[in-house]
Amino acid sequence: MAATQTAYGVVSLGERLAEADDDRGRVPLRQDLDIGAFGVNAIYQRKAGEELVRWHHEAGPGGDMHEELYVVVHGSATFTVDGDEIDAPQGTAIFVRDPGVIREAKATADETIVLAAGGPRDHAYRLTPAASAIGFWDAYGAKDYAAALETTKRALETYPGNAYLLYNVACMESLLGNDEAALTALADSVGQWEKYKEQARNDDDFASLRDDPRFLELVS
Same CATH topology for 13-120 and 129-219: the answer is no
- Judge whether 55 and 104 are in contact, CB under 8 Å: yes
pLDDT of residue 149: 98
**Rg value, the chain, Cα:** 19
Q: Residue 4: is its pLDDT beyond 60?
A: no
Give the confidence band of 60 by pLDDT, cuts at 50, 70, 90.
Answer: very high
- Judge whether 41 and 116 are in contact, CB under 8 Å: yes
- Judge whether 73 and 81 are in contact, CB under 8 Å: no
pLDDT of residue 6: 75
At the fourth CATH level, which superfamily is domain 13-120?
Jelly Rolls (2.60.120.10)
- Please name the residues in contact with 111: beta carbons below 8 A apart, sequence gap of 6 or more: 17, 44, 46, 74, 75
What DSSP string runs through 126-154? ---HHHHSTTHHHHHHTT-HHHHHHHHHH
The predicted-structure confidence for 118-164, as pLDDT tens digits, reads as follows 999 999 999 999 999 999 999 999 999 999 999 999 999 999 999 99
At the fourth CATH level, which superfamily is domain 129-219?
Tetratricopeptide repeat domain (1.25.40.10)
The predicted-structure confidence for 68-99, as pLDDT tens digits, reads as follows 999 999 999 999 999 999 999 999 999 999 99
Gap between the Cα atoms of 8 and 4, Å rounded: 7
Q: Is 71 exposed, middle or buried (0-12, 13-18, 19+ CB in 10 A)?
A: middle
- Please name the residues in contact with 150: beta carbons below 8 A apart, sequence gap of 6 or more: none
The predicted-structure confidence for 14-51, as pLDDT tens digits, reads as follows 999 999 999 999 999 999 999 999 999 999 999 999 99
pLDDT of residue 123: 92
Domain ranges of the chain: 13-120, 129-219
Gap between the Cα atoms of 186 and 104, Å rounded: 28
Gap between the Cα atoms of 43 and 117, Å rounded: 11
Q: Residue 3: is its pLDDT beyond 80?
A: no
Give the confidence band of 169 by pLDDT, cuts at 50, 70, 90.
Answer: very high
Gap between the Cα atoms of 179 and 144, Å rounded: 18
The predicted-structure confidence for 151-164, as pLDDT tens digits, reads as follows 999 999 999 999 99
